[in-house]
């Protein structure tokens, strides 16, 4: 099988400043040196169930927090793969547990044998991959998973929020005297430059099904909306993002648990 890497977003964009000041959970990392999990990673770990004795791969491992958590919960082996050199440097800070290793790799060409892992994470990665790259990554993950092995995915923002929820949010903010850009991606240059393939529940399920996974895809809020200046806006945002069916539009977090 030819597993030649595909071109995509340059790895140099994912520099130390990104991981330590912008990538979600950087504040928890700063407090704990990577031993405290931000909510999105904690939820992903919860969705994994009992990981005792499992061989775990974290694709797009970033700072490496999840690897430490897996090791502390009894995983037999944890491997982190990321194609950003800055991620490798940061993840090595403070040392690695004996059963944790790191590999710099392109997700479209994972340097592992087939059926090498029981559990794979792909967290906050999907939205950074062009469609052909995402298809290639999912094919690679299926190749390295044992039969019946699990894949846990988190991606944000929910494309339905961008399409339907954000325009309403923008209108409310404008009535409060706060002007926001029409394109929500313009609120952060990292999002504008790095997010090339945002997903909805439906589109992510289609990708996973096409790759041969049996997948449950759903929204589940992990945001505290602490950056909202108004207590009322924070409370309304939490309610909208956790109350179904409104959450399908107003919740920005999309998760999937898939079986190969």
Query: What is the SS3 assignment for 185?
Result: helix
State how beta strands 214-219 and 77-82 pair: unpaired
Q: Which domains occur in the chain, in start order? A: 11-155+199-227+252-259 (3.40.50.150)
What lies within 8 Å, CB to CB, of 214 at 6+ separation is: 258, 259
Mean pLDDT for 87-113 is 91
Mean pLDDT for 119-144 is 97
What pLDDT digit, counting tens, does each position of 34-92 carry?
Answer: 889 999 999 999 999 999 999 999 999 999 999 999 999 999 999 999 999 999 999 99
Per-residue confidence at 224, pLDDT binned at 50, 70, 90?
confident
Mean pLDDT for 212-233 is 88
User: What is the pLDDT at residue 4?
Assistant: 40
What pLDDT digit, counting tens, does each position of 137-152 carry?
Answer: 999 999 999 999 999 9
Q: Where are the alpha helices (DSSP H) in the chain?
A: 16-17, 26-32, 39-47, 65-72, 85-92, 131-144, 159-160, 166-175, 189-194, 201-210, 231-242, 247-250
Q: Please say whether the beta carbons of 152 and 255 come within 8 A.
A: yes
Q: Please say whether the beta carbons of 190 and 84 come within 8 A.
A: no
Q: Is the pLDDT at 229 greater than 90, yes or no?
A: no
Query: What is the SS3 assignment for 84?
Result: coil
DSSP class of 69: H
């Amino acid at each position: 099988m030819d597993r030649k890497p595909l071109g995509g977003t340059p790895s140099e964009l994912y520099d130390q400043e990104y991981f330590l000041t912008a990538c979600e959970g950087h504040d928890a990392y700063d407090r704990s040196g990577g031993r405290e999990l931000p909510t999105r990673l904690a939820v992903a770990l919860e969705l994994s169930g009992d990981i005792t004795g499992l061989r775990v791969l974290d694709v797009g491992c970033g700072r490496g927090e999840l690897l430490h958590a897996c090791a502390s919960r009894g995983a037999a082996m944890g491997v982190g793969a990321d194609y950003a050199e800055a991620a490798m440097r940061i993840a090595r800070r403070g040392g690695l547990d004996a059963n944790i290793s790191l590999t710099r790799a392109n997700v479209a060409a994972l340097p592992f044998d087939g059926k090498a892992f029981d559990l794979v994470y792909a967290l906050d990665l999907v939205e950074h991959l062009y469609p052909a790259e995402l298809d290639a990554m999912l094919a690679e993950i299926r190749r390295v998973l044992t039969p019946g092995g699990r894949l846990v995915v988190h991606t944000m923002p929910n494309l339905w929020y961008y399409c339907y929820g954000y325009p309403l949010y923008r209108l409310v903010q404008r009535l409060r005297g706060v002007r926001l850009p029409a394109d929500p991606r313009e609120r952060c240059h990292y999002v504008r430059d790095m997010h090339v393939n945002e997903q909805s529940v439906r589109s992510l399920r289609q990708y996973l099904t096409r790759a041969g996974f049996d997948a449950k895809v759903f929204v589940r809020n992990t945001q505290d909306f602490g950056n909202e200046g108004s207590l009322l806006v924070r409370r309304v945002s939490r309610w909208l993002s956790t109350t179904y069916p409104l959450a399908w539009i107003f919740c920005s977090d999309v998760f999937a648990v898939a079986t190969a």
